Chain A
Amino acid sequence: MKILVCLKQTFDTEAKVVLDGNGKIDRKGVSMIVNPYDEFAVEEALKIVEKDGGSVTVISVGDAGAQDALRQALAMGADDAVLVDVGDTELDEYSTATILAKAISGMEYDLILGGFRAIDDGSAQVCGRVAEILNIPVVNVITKLEVAGGKATATREIEGGNEVVEVALPAVFTAQKGLNEPRYPSMKGIMKAKKKPLAKKSLADLGLDAIAPKVKAISFSLPEARQAGKVLQGEVADTTAELAKLLREEAKVI
């Protein structure tokens, strides 16, 4: 079983986001992490390979810094990694997916895993778009995956419940929280990861020219901070009565 995992490097969830002099998001000094959903994808790939044999390749489109994210996946146990280094080229989901699909189309795979969304842009598009380009099915927001005999059975989240879906491989699956508990890289894993292959490719290496994004950002702004409101202290009988009244008469929300 050859498994590919699409992995994106994103801002740390705690990161403070500021705009630079040009009104764009300032990436300087921000600590970066593996997109949390992609950790579930890596973990799932490792579990399948541990059970059935095979290999796990992680692949990312990003700048040189994304190597750190790929190394983390290698330290968890992935076999090799591919970085398509696009420098500071502006990407949207369309161009990212086009690049990923092009890189993947030159590789062997039975299964492609990714996160159901990236926590930075929250788009939940890239993996689905990759599947569409590769002309293979996608099953999104999965919380369970079983692979056997060239087929996969996945449980995916739907509104108000779950559904079980069966699909022939190759196919793309996107991970939702609950799929598994990602392992922490061990010290030994971290040491080994340093020697594992990490191929760096440019767009030209893939035979691609610059791809114009479909989406154009017009302006960025920071949201207005919410103001702290009325905090009531005292006897519960009094504070709850007052709150009920405020919600009814002042906020008009009940």
Chain B
Amino acid sequence: MAKGIWVFAEQLGGQIKKVSFELLSEGRKVADTLGEELCAVLVGKDVAGLAASLGEYGADKVYVAENAALENYTTDGYTNVVADLVKQYEPSALLLGCTVTGRDLAAQVAQRLETGLLTDCIGMEVADGQIVFTRPLYAGKVIVKASVPDARPVMATIRPNTFPVASNAKAAEVVTVDANVGEVRAAVKEVIRVASERPELTEADAIVSGGRGMKGPENFKVLEELADTIGAAVGASRAAVDAGWIAQSFQVGQTGKTVSPILYVACGISGAIQHLAGMSSAKCIVAINKDEEANIFKVADYGIVADLFDAVPALKEEIKKVIA
């Protein structure tokens, strides 16, 4: 019988992603309710040293699959390794963060194991012995609760920032396993990462976003200064992206990133339905807009009606004062 709640411990450059700790923290509760063990799966090159940190968030066991060919994420390499492990140990559930990598890997593993996968979940609970996941559909206009009643493992990717991290320190048992990378058909030729001091958009606790009201690329500096004051990431509306003021990867919304920060500050953004689709699960929304009729004020917890070029720098100074 299938047993064990598994969490894919995503790492990048020798660092475990925060979302993996979030999944372990919440997975601990699910595992306890079901009376199963909580395991992390750590895949990469020279990653064994990270195993202990997974125990700190509640993992009973960490499966470590190391291989030089796993240094960069590849769809084939990681799918082969993770799917083999799942076939061997038959866990009842496999959870991943809904990140670029988590999404990519989850779909391939789910199909290889011919099981169901719920993407971009924002809730998880146990009912009648099944894990029931909550996920938004139609860009958050409908919420569905769903499960995978028969196939195992039940798979889900979970939106970063959905669950709080909770320390649950254990000395996790480390199990080193063979990593048969197999054939990697799509070879990575080049990796171009733009070095940034700011947090990744989808994982950030705070985001400062700019829209058409920014009027030009040079003005994003104003936003960056506010962002850096509060340790926030920078985001944008599609209008700002389409104008070429900021790269596509910063777009928030239905055809951009879905974000779930604690604080979202929308500057010069009108609040179109497609933009709201990407950020309405933020815990606190702040809007700065010179048009008091702007739709964004209908969803904002706090708003300032003002020219953003006056308000954003002033807000930065006021925030410096209160957090000093």
Contacts and interface: CB of A to CB of B under 8 A. Distances in A.
Interface of A: 11, 13-17, 19, 25, 36-37, 92-94, 97, 119-125, 128-129, 131-133, 136-141, 143, 153, 157-168, 171, 176-178, 213-223, 226, 228-233, 236-237, 239-241, 243-248, 251, 253-254
B101 interface: yes
The 6 closest A-B CB pairs, nearest first, are: A214-B116, A128-B107, A244-B318, A161-B193, A229-B301, A137-B185
B103 interface: yes
A239 B206 CA distance: 20
Contact of A167 (B12, B187, B200, B284): B187
Interface size, B (range): 35 or more
Contacts of A139: 75, 186
Given A125-B117, A164-B190, A177-B251, A159 B200 contact: yes
Contact residues of B: prevailing secondary structure? mixed
B116 A253 contact: no
B192 interface: yes
A177 B250 CA distance: 12
B148 A215 contact: yes
A231 B230 CA distance: 21
B149 A160 contact: no
B323 interface: yes
24 contacts: A120-B138, A121-B119, A122-B258, A123-B120, A128-B108, A129-B111, A132-B107, A139-B186, A141-B100, A158-B191, A163-B72, A164-B190, A177-B255, A214-B150, A216-B146, A219-B145, A221-B143, A228-B297, A229-B302, A230-B302, A240-B314, A247-B286, A253-B263, A254-B323
Interface in B73-127: 73, 75-76, 99-101, 103-104, 106-108, 110-112, 114-120
A121 B186 CA distance: 27
Contacts of B191: 158, 161-163
A176 B241 CA distance: 14
Contacts, number: 268
Nearest to B101: A159
A178 B311 CA distance: 32
A119 B120 CA distance: 12
A230 B307 CA distance: 17
> Which secondary structure dominates chain A's binding surface?
mixed
B319 interface: yes
A236 B310 contact: yes
A244 B321 contact: yes
B189 A123 contact: no
B196 A160 contact: yes
Contacts of B41: none
Nearest to A248: B322
Nearest to B280: A226
A222 B305 contact: no
Contact of B305 (A168, A220, A233, A246): A233
Nearest to B247: A178
Contact of A119 (B254, B262, B311, B314): B254
Contacts of B318: 240-241, 243-245
Given A123-B119, A253-B284, A166 B187 contact: yes
Contacts of A213: 116
B251 to A, nearest CB: 7
Nearest to B13: A160
Given A176-B248, A221-B142, 4 more contacts: A92-B116, A94-B115, A140-B103, A231-B297
A25 to B, nearest CB: 6
B3 to A, nearest CB: 19
Nearest to A159: B100
A239 B186 contact: no
